[in-house]
Structure 1
């Protein structure tokens, strides 16, 4: 492609230079002829107007007086001839002395009428450009004529003498053009990496197909901003169509952070896993501020993981209770064998009544099965960890599932993460967690309190906008993601998420009915 483009430009430049040179030569020739006409016209007029010319003609000594003068002028001005003649064409002067006394060959009628004119005529010396002017005496009568001429052969010699200069200019223009075209070709080859047009086409088609079909979001950032965004990245980040500015990107992509691996970020609608790799772009080889960002959607997986975690907690609790029940069963059997059946019955039913009352109360007050399972599992988990877990008497949800302001999955996400954070943050000297879930005709209220110190406003705001944790452990990412996921659900439904420290560290979620 570079060779074809350069060849075309060479042909175009050559045609332009040749045409320009031809025009320059024609123009030079025209200018030479015009200058010659002006020169011979000026000489003829000057000699004709000189009083000495008319006096010499009238004195009868024209040849003797004027021949030396005309030859001196001719030699000095480098013209072909100066002829002074009588009105009847008889020559008084001539370049060739043998022609003196002969008849002048050429047009004189206009001069006899008192006009000064120029013409091209072939005389004794050959084709020439000549001027003829009348000579007047003091009385104004025409007493003679002056003709001055330049041979066309001399003009051709002058014109040809200009060819080397024009040729030098032409060669210089071609040389400069060739250097410029070579530089353009080199730049074009460097920018296309020497690829042929068909290779560039195949590369573009493959590149375009991959960008539109890849299941991960892909963004290329360089020193100028956003260089490339594929369709999946636009969908995941809700970016506008057309050109994307750096200001359109989420806050976590506006800073240069190459090398990040599996970062979890929460937007208003999604949970995203982000990886960032530094690259060097051909356009900016000196710049290190370029990176490729890949984005994976983890929203559905995160919701499934939340539900699975709740079920795992419940399963672990049931397994622990089954083991505990086996111990209690052995105790009851032994007490019966010892002849103490009444005490065995009391031992077996006391704790069962407490657990059953909690199950019955939650099943009656909370219509969502997933939420009942979550609360029972968290209660068992808290009991194992020595945390006093309370579900307040204010807890109440509508019986009809279509009246709930949050779905079961969203309830599990919000309440599960808040309870996990509360159990991790409560005071170990006096651990307790209190949960309230209540929905009325106007709003849904979820309140989780614990005995911990709580978070200040700035820390809480940071935790809501992005995965943040005060824990230093392998599970810090999971715990830090909790409040961000809660904030995502709350924002989706136009609710509010706040914290305060009153009778404990209290986190409150309010979702209005819309």
Structure 2
């Protein structure tokens, strides 16, 4: 069986409602027509009875000088024809028929019912005449002395139900046709409006889409958030609700009404596209992608997907640290090979004093670097990283200098690992920028500022362009040439590590770019 279209359903509904209304209106009209008949014909019959009762020959003939019944009958017949009544009778006060015309004229007596004519007062009402329900008028015929001589009875039976229905049928037919035309036009316009609002989908298709939507939102692992242009959350999947820590019933509320962090609110409310934007929610690293949705040339909202990448970022942090160590070892290996080649050549030449002097110089230089670092940095992991980075920078022709104001105490292992991740990535980026611009130095300044570890790295490169300051920490952003694989992660990782601890990272330009990271000693509660 074919599914009826939305327009057809509306039309059928309106036709049913219209037919019900017309049925009720017909019943009321028929019932009202009976009341109208009683009121209208009752007045006319009462007037006809009053005319007869006031006719002098009738009064005289029923009083002092009786006349032939045929004469009274003639008067009755004339009035009956004039009014179109069923019967016109002259009766005695007791109801005996004296003369008349029409139904009941041949009967010897009629029922006067609750008539007030015996009290010399006119009366109209409903009575049964010859088995037919009729409207009846009674008017007393009074002598000059005020005595009741007779009663004029004029009756007219009610029209049948079919007759009354035929009387109102033309109007009902007109109303039915007009209502049908309006119903068809209204259904067509309403269906067009609804189809335009529902993208041309029928109710069954909308229901199927709703079921599929619910199944999809409950099954996908990635969080999905749809936001309308006015900031109202229209779609919120289970995963997104869990990632953002939102309660049930958050759909239908605006972003300003939800208890979410400002950075997350700004990311969800944005109207432009965003790719792999990293935010921290309750200590978890969340990567979001935002796409605007357009229909008919106008923006109807945005859809944002959320992915929990906490474990992935931790692995990237560890990988970054391992890569840094690997690069450092590679540089040291290259440096040691050159030094060994030099020593080997001097030995082959028999320059033993030169060998001794060369080895002493290397030992003193290595000791000077270690002493300088360990004098200013008490944390062994961070100190070891700095010693390694000095050698790595020197291998690339850059001098890595540690500021004399540096003072870093021993840190707990968790904070030490985070400081190492931040310092290693900032130093690597600073060395790359310095080498690219032919700069000579990279300066590092570490300090503990009232419970906040401050890591500041300044290069002598080209600096950060003003229009790129807001993009420099975005995942995937890089100025390095070549394959994008593995690029644009370091600074994004630095920002994530800082924000995960409740800190921050910023950049400004002096001689080159100056990056400043702040990491609280106490990790923010997740």
Q: TM-score, normalised by structure 1?
A: 0.74
In structure 2, C-alpha distance between the alignment counterparts of 1:27 and 1:426, rounded to whole Å: 102
Aligned match of 1:161:
166
Aligned match of 2:364:
353
In structure 1, C-alpha distance between the alignment counterparts of 2:162 and 2:222, rounded to whole Å: 79
In structure 2, C-alpha distance between the alignment counterparts of 1:319 and 1:156, rounded to whole Å: 111
1:309 matched to 2:309:
no
Change (3 A) 1:209 1:413: farther
Aligned match of 2:152:
146
Contact kept, 8 Å, 1:463 with 1:480, in 2: the verdict is: no
- Offset at 1:146? 1.0
In structure 1, C-alpha distance between the alignment counterparts of 2:290 and 2:479, rounded to whole Å: 25
Change (3 A) 1:301 1:361: farther
Aligned match of 2:139:
133
Q: Aligned to 1:94, what secondary structure does the other structure show?
A: strand
Q: Aligned to 1:162, what secondary structure does the other structure show?
A: helix
Change (3 A) 1:288 1:501: closer
Q: Per-residue CA shift, 1:13-51, capped at 9, x if unaligned? A: 867765664455445445544554454334324543566
Q: How many residues align?
A: 498
1:322 matched to 2:366:
no
Q: Per-residue CA shift, 1:46-76, capped at 9, x if unaligned? A: 5435667535644545878766665454334
Contact kept, 8 Å, 2:399 with 2:440, in 1: the verdict is: yes
Aligned match of 2:261:
none
Change (3 A) 1:37 1:414: same
Aligned match of 1:264:
277
Change (3 A) 1:496 1:98: closer
1:121 matched to 2:97:
no
In structure 2, C-alpha distance between the alignment counterparts of 1:321 and 1:88, rounded to whole Å: 143
Pick the aligned partner of 1:446 from 439, 443, 455: 455
- Offset at 1:389? 0.4
Contact kept, 8 Å, 1:307 with 1:409, in 2: the verdict is: no
Q: Per-residue CA shift, 1:111-166, capped at 9, x if unaligned? A: 3342434452334x9664322221123432223321111034x4556424336347
Equivalent runs, 1:472-491 vs 2, <5 Å: 473=481, 485-491=493-499
Q: Aligned to 2:110, what secondary structure does the other structure show?
A: coil
Equivalent runs, 1:335-484 vs 2, <5 Å: 335-359=346-370, 362=373, 366=377, 368=379, 370-399=381-410, 401=412, 407-426=415-434, 428=437, 430-439=439-448, 442-452=451-461, 462=470, 471=479, 473=481
In structure 2, C-alpha distance between the alignment counterparts of 1:395 and 1:315, rounded to whole Å: 26
Equivalent runs, 1:160-309 vs 2, <5 Å: 160-162=165-167, 164-165=169-170, 168=173, 175=180, 191=201, 194=204, 200=208, 207-221=213-227, 225-239=232-246, 241=248, 242-243=250-251, 244-245=253-254, 247=256, 250-257=265-272, 262-267=275-280, 269=283, 271-276=285-290, 289=300, 292-309=303-320
- Offset at 1:98? 12
In structure 2, C-alpha distance between the alignment counterparts of 1:196 and 1:206, rounded to whole Å: 10
- Offset at 1:255? 3.6
In structure 1, C-alpha distance between the alignment counterparts of 2:513 and 2:103, rounded to whole Å: 133
Contact kept, 8 Å, 2:280 with 2:499, in 1: the verdict is: no
In structure 2, C-alpha distance between the alignment counterparts of 1:362 and 1:487, rounded to whole Å: 25
Change (3 A) 1:320 1:455: closer
Q: Per-residue CA shift, 1:258-278, capped at 9, x if unaligned? A: 5x6x43334465554444556
Pick the aligned partner of 2:83 from 53, 56, 77: 77
Equivalent runs, 1:27-38 vs 2, <5 Å: 27-29=32-34, 31-33=36-38, 35-38=40-43
Change (3 A) 1:410 1:138: farther
Q: Per-residue CA shift, 1:200-234, capped at 9, x if unaligned? A: 4xx76664344234221223355675431212223
- Offset at 1:341? 1.0
Change (3 A) 1:95 1:223: farther
In structure 1, C-alpha distance between the alignment counterparts of 2:167 and 2:223, rounded to whole Å: 69
More divergent stretch after superposition (213-222 vs 3-12): 3-12
Question: Please, what is the CA RMSD of the aligned residues?
Answer: 4.9
- Offset at 1:411? 0.9
- Offset at 1:469? 6.0
Q: TM-score, normalised by structure 2?
A: 0.73
Q: Which runs of 5+ in 1 are unaligned?
A: none
Q: Aligned to 1:95, what secondary structure does the other structure show?
A: strand
More divergent stretch after superposition (4-13 vs 338-347): 4-13
Q: Per-residue CA shift, 1:431-459, capped at 9, x if unaligned? A: 21111223376543323233357569x76
Equivalent runs, 1:13-24 vs 2, <5 Å: 18=23, 21-22=26-27, 24=29
Change (3 A) 1:32 1:474: farther
In structure 1, C-alpha distance between the alignment counterparts of 2:311 and 2:272, rounded to whole Å: 27
Contact kept, 8 Å, 2:143 with 2:149, in 1: the verdict is: yes
In structure 2, C-alpha distance between the alignment counterparts of 1:119 and 1:333, rounded to whole Å: 142
- Offset at 1:92? 6.6
